[in-house]
Every structure is written in structure tokens, then in C-alpha cells.
Copies of this chain bind each other. A is one copy, B any other.
Amino acid sequence: MIIISIGNEILYGKTINTNASFIADQLYGLGIEVQKVITIGDHQEQILETLTAAFLETDFVVMTGGLGPTKDDITKQVICDYFHVEQVINEKVVADIKKMFERRGFKLNEINRLQASMPVGSIPLTNKNGTAPGIWIEKDQKFFVAMPGVPFEMKPIVTDEMIPMLKERYPFQNCIVHKELITAGIGESALSELIESWELALPKHITLAYLPAPGKLMLRLTGRSVKGSENQLHSELKEQIKQLKKIAGNYIISDQSENLEEVIGKILIRKKGKLAVAESCTGGYLAHLITSVPGSSQYFEGGLVSYSNEVKHAILNVRELNLKKHGAVSEFVVNDMAINTMGLFDVDYTIAISGIAGPSGGTPEKPVGTVWIAVANPMKVVAEKFSFGTEGGREVIIQRAARAALYMFYKLLQA
């Protein structure tokens, strides 16, 4: 299948195309593989050409973007042109839009009413979070879905409307099963060498992909076979993973598609542990990662962003001696931070980070990218120094430091 993303904002580089990834992931779970994602601008001709070319290569096209209130939206007309149908105002859609507006306390304007116009023969896909419904068209053994480009409007249309419709109506030919392993503590190239012999011995219908993401590396093992062979594939993949774990088990932190912060959350809930953090260079990003997990309030008490030395001393009671003698980015200071955070927040686990995220603030002994991290439980404090380099700039240093801190904390929980 092919995804077509429409939007000048994506081509101009100001908006990142997260929609295509979301849709691809959802479809992949159904066994539908995306063969291509094409992003184009809001140009009527280009949309029509691209749609036409796409349907020469596939029987299923999903289009996002170009459905919305502003007047650069021309997608709907192209869809009608391609399928040779007219548009009519759909009164059910009008009613939906009206309801949404009433809930928000707005009045329907003429622009919004036009959004209820639908290609004849199409099925509207309910948009819970916006005014433009999705459009489902099935014609001449072609499947077509169009959705607005705003992610939080698009996502429920995909999961609650499109996926159930596909399950019912799409002529599936084969099945795909995939298993994911989250690794940490090893780079892509070193891992690749380590598991090379195992990878080369994989049967043809099972493939391995390296999916790097910030601070972690996911391995995805995919088995492909004919419809109905799900169980067979599952047990084959399970056996392969067993073999892999013999070689690289140390670096595999989860065999579910979960982040390190989710893995840590589960362990803390099991241990009934309470966590607090103290951050300097990461500026709240570590707390943000931890609290991005739903239910994190069960184990996360809070955090201090001690950005200045005054705050480190006055609130966190970091010794002035240590700040002056060793500097804020030192083992002494992160140890003070980790230990005192335990008392300040009344918790049994802490993480502390102090470093130089740049672009300025580096010295010859402590260049930008130098970060000290300490993790503590009531029995011990473990500190480690990292050099994250200046390669990715401030943003990457912040991300790597927070990820490294989570991994250190994970190891402490394992010990």
C-alpha cells in the first residue's frame, strides 16, 4: 500500500511527517506493508498525478492532509476527479460538526459547513476531534482513505474507523508477525557484529531490522507467511529470540515494544519504590520522560531542576565546598544531588544529572557534552561520567544524558 501525505508545510520543512509513521505502524500490525510514502504539496495537479500513479502500483492508498478549514484545501476535489464522482453535502456529517461546535461553544460558519461535503458513494469516517471527517472509498477493487492531517484528528480515525473497516473488507493475502526487542547499552555496529552469525542463519521468511530511536535501538524480527499461519510464525520467532538471547541477552531490556521509562515504571510499581530526580543540564527532560508514562504518579514523587548553582546549594543542599572545589559538573556534586534528593523528596530511589549541554559553557577539562550522572537507592550511590560529544548539539546531549541516566537507573534496579 502507499501513503500520500499532502501539505506544503511538510515540503517546506516546518512540519515533520509523523502521520505516515503512525499509519504505517498500525497497518503493519494488520499485515499490510507500506511500500512507499510520498509527500507532496497542496497542488491540485500534483495530487491527482500522484494518486493516479499510486493506484497503478497498489490497490490501497491512504491520503492525509488537505482536509481542513483553510482555503488551500483542494484534496476533496481531486478525489472526486479521480473517482469520477460529484460532491454532496452529507447531512449526518453536518450534524456531527454542529455537535462538536456546540460542545466547544462556537457557532458553525460557512467554511465549516462546506467540510460536510462528501464524494458520492464514499463513507464518512467519524472525526471525533475535528470538523473534517475521513473519507472511505471502495471502487473497482481499489481501497482509498483520506483523512485530515492534524495528528490528533487523524489518529482516532485510523484506530477506531479505518482499521476495523479494513479488517472487515480488505482482501488479505498473507500474514505478518513481528516481535520487537528493545536493546540498550550497545551501539548498532557492535551489536551487528555480535549477532552476525545468528542473523545469517535466519530462514528466508524471517527478517531482521535495526530500528534506531533516540537513546535506544529496537530490533524487529518479522516473519512472513500465508494467511492463517500466525501460530506457526509466532513459535518460530519465539525460538529465534531464545537463540538470540543466548548471544546478546545482556543488552536486551524488553521483548515488548516499550520504552526504558515504561520498563522502569513497571519495576518500581512491583518494588513499591518511590523515585525523584534532580537535573541540571537536562533541564526537566528526564522528569518529562518519566512522567510521559501514564500512571507514573504511582512511583514518581517529583523532581528538581536545579539549573543554577544557587538552587543546587539553597534548595538541594549541595555543599558549597564541592561546587567551588570540583565545579557543578563533578562526581562530588552529582553524588550530593542524588543523596540529598532522597531526603528532600522522601523517596528511596533517585537520579541526578549535572553536565554541560552547550553550545557554550565548556572548558578544556570539561568540554561541552561532559555529563556526570548518579543513581542511588538507600544502600548505595553509583556515579558515572559520560562524554556525549558536541555532535548533535544541545538537543542531542540533553536526550542522550537523560537516556543514559535511565539506563544507569535500570541497571541499579536490576542489581
Contacts and interface: CB of A to CB of B under 8 A. Distances in A.
A116 to B, nearest CB: 14
Interface string A302-333: 11111110110011000000000000000000
Interface string A70-95: 11100000000000000000000000
Contacts of A279: 284
Contact of A11 (B34, B291, B311): B34
Interface stretch (A163-171, A237-245, A247-255, A391-399): A391-399
A63 interface: no
A287 B294 contact: no
Nearest to A180: B14
Given A37-B39, A301-B308, A305-B305, A16 B15 contact: no
Interface in A376-407: 389, 391-396, 398
Contacts of A303: 284, 304-305, 307
Given A34-B11, A68-B188, A285-B288, A307 B297 contact: yes
Contact of A192 (B28, B71, B192, B392): B71
B294 A284 contact: no
B284 A285 contact: yes
Interface string A1-20: 00000001111111111101
Interface in A331-390: 344-346, 358-361, 389
A300 interface: yes
Contacts of A150: 212
A220 interface: yes
Given A71-B192, A305-B305, A12 B35 contact: no
Closest 4 CB pairs of A and B: A283-B291, A13-B25, A284-B287, A13-B24
Interface of A: 8-18, 20-28, 33-41, 46, 50, 68-72, 109, 111-112, 128-129, 150-153, 155, 188-189, 192-193, 199, 209-213, 218, 220, 276-277, 279, 282-288, 290-292, 294-297, 300-308, 310-311, 314-315, 344-346, 358-361, 389, 391-396, 398
